[in-house]
Chains A and B, each alone.
Chain A
């Protein structure tokens, strides 16, 4: 595997690695604004989809899933862990086969989207602290476990 390059790979010092890591933190901070724009656009797209919901349509569900999935995937990188938690739960609801005929699941999806909107609006970073726990409680989810100080 990768024999062409493997012999030419040299190791770097831990100091070099730490420097790269600190550069990466700056890059992530630079992109945070762009992420918020992306987050907003994804929420708008989800809301547009939910304006005319068609839970029976597999393509419609797939589009909704993809948008939620992207939020779940990127949230944690930009310190929006709560968005990842809610996004993960939303993905689970959309994947549920009973969704088309189950109105309670559909209502939970709407609640999850509202929660994502609140995370963006109130800029709830990390696990969102107490507000995050309250938000998760409204969705019937367990609060985030934190280490005791």
Chain B
């Protein structure tokens, strides 16, 4: 099933599949983030300054920063953050390890906290790893106000079911609304000669 969507900038009409989940919806709601508490974990002090300032512009009420990934657990606990923004490449402990620890309840905060990975590592391999560790969304550096805002909105509006299994903890990784194969109905469709 498709629907016509008018692009807000180009004015072109696009025919897109009807969005089933808001996280993949075509247009992004503009959110008031004043209620949000966020923590930024990045070993590069300048990057944390930039993100803190951008989050300030977005009127995020409480922003905590942490430049030492080894001290991130305590910082996250103290900040009572709703949103954890984390870099991937950090000395001593990678952002992906941190995401894994949060999702597996080793940090002492609710394991369903929103996690936004912000990194210049956007190779398929890293994106897959971040997704498999349970990140809600991944934003590629270089950052701009729009990309960061869009990433935050996507992460906090992510309404995918939260999965907790021995091998994976995080938002459901199924992104396509493809019905499961139904062998019964397949059999019915087959011609009688093939049965």
A contacts, CB < 8 Å to B = 1-2, 4-6, 8-14, 16-17, 20-21, 23-25, 27-28, 30-31, 34-35, 38, 66, 69-70, 72-77, 81, 84, 88
Contacts and interface: CB of A to CB of B under 8 A. Distances in A.
B141 A5 contact: no
A10 B46 CA distance: 31
Interface size bracket, B side: 35 or more
A70 B49 contact: no
Contact of B53 (A20, A31, A69, A76): A31
B46 A69 contact: no
A75 B32 CA distance: 29
Contacts, number: 104
B31 A11 contact: yes
A23 B31 contact: no
A28 B54 CA distance: 8
* Cβ-closest 8 pairs across A and B: A76-B142, A24-B145, A73-B120, A73-B141, A77-B142, A23-B57, A38-B46, A27-B53
Nearest to B142: A76
B108 interface: no
A84 B142 contact: yes
Interface string B41-76: 000101101100110111100000000000000000
B91 A5 contact: no
A15 B10 CA distance: 19
